[in-house]
Amino acid sequence: MDGVVSRTAATVALGTALLVTACGGQERRIDGPYAKVAGEAIPRIEEVTGLKFKTDPKIEARSRDDVRAFLEKRFREDLPDEEIAGSGAAYRRLGLIPDTLDLRAFMLDLLTEQVVGYYDPETKVLYVVEEAPPEQASIIIAHELVHALQDQYMSLDSLQLLRGDNDRQIAAHAVVEGQATIVQIQSMLGGADIATALPGGWDRVRDMIRESSSQMPVFATAPRIIQETLIFPYLSGAEFMRTFQQLRPGEAPYGDLPRSTEQIIHSRAYFSERDAPTRVTLPSPRIGRNRYQNNLGEFETRIFLYEHVKEQSAAVRGAAGWDGDRYTVIDTPRGDAFAWVTVWDSPVEAAEFTEVLDRAIGRRFDGERMREEGGGKRYEVNDREVSWWGGDVGGRAVVIYTDAPSGVGELLAPGRVKLQ
125 burial level (CB within 10 Å; 0-12, 13-18, 19+): middle
| pLDDT (average), residues 376-382 | 92
Q: Whole domain around residue 411: which residue ranges? A: 280-419
| pLDDT (average), residues 15-41 | 60
* Residue 227 and residue 331 in one domain: no
Of 244, 271, 298, which residue sits at a domain end? 271
* Residue 257 and residue 308 in one domain: no
CB 301 within 8 A of CB 322: yes
CB 411 within 8 A of CB 384: no
* Residue 55 and residue 174 in one domain: yes
Question: At 384, is the secondary structure helix, strand, or coil?
Answer: strand
Q: Is 248's pLDDT higher than 80?
A: yes
Whole-prediction pTM value? 0.91
Of 271, 301, 327, which residue sits at a domain end? 271
The dihedral built from the CA positions of residue 192, 194, 197 and 198, taken in this order, carries a sign that is positive
| pLDDT (average), residues 275-280 | 97
* Residue 351 and residue 330 in one domain: yes
Range in 90-94, 134-138, 181-185, 391-395 with the lowest mean pLDDT = 134-138
More confident residue, 366 or 137: 137
Q: Which helix (H) or strand (E) holds 300?
A: helix 297-309
Q: Is 142's pLDDT higher than 50?
A: yes
Which domain CATH number covers 401? Answer: 3.40.1000
CB 209 within 8 A of CB 201: no
Question: Residue 355's pLDDT is what?
Answer: 98
Question: Residue 32's pLDDT is what?
Answer: 67
* Residue 92 and residue 184 in one domain: yes
Taking only the tens place, the pLDDT of each residue in 301-324 is 999 999 999 999 999 999 999 999
Taking only the tens place, the pLDDT of each residue in 387-415 is 999 999 999 999 999 999 999 989 999 99
* Residue 125 and residue 267 in one domain: yes
* Residue 236 and residue 106 in one domain: yes
Of 245, 271, 297, which residue sits at a domain end? 271
* Residue 101 and residue 219 in one domain: yes
Total structural domains within the chain: 2
Quickly count: other Cβ atoms within 10 Å of residue 325's Cβ: 24
* Residue 253 and residue 342 in one domain: no
Quickly count: other Cβ atoms within 10 Å of residue 122's Cβ: 13
CB 253 within 8 A of CB 244: yes
* Residue 267 and residue 360 in one domain: no
Task: Categorise residue 191: left if φ over 0, alpha if ψ from -120 to 50, beta otherwise.
Answer: left
* Average pLDDT value over all residues in the chain: 88
> Using the 8-state DSSP alphabet, how is residue 414 labeled?
G
Tell me the pLDDT band of 340, cut-offs 50, 70 and 90: very high
Question: Residue 72's pLDDT is what?
Answer: 83
Distance separating alpha carbons of residues 298 and 402, to the nearest angstrom: 18
* Residue 262 and residue 293 in one domain: no
More confident residue, 292 or 192: 292
Task: Categorise residue 419: left if φ over 0, alpha if ψ from -120 to 50, beta otherwise.
Answer: beta
Question: Half-sphere exposure of 112 toward its Cβ, with a 13 Å CA cutoff?
Answer: 19
Tell me the pLDDT band of 20, cut-offs 50, 70 and 90: very low
Provide the total of helices (H) and of strands (E) in the chain, helices listed first. Answer: 16, 13
Question: Half-sphere exposure of 338 toward its Cβ, with a 13 Å CA cutoff?
Answer: 20
* Residue 247 and residue 359 in one domain: no
Closest CA to 389 of 372, 364, 405: 372
Closest CA to 125 of 141, 108, 109: 141
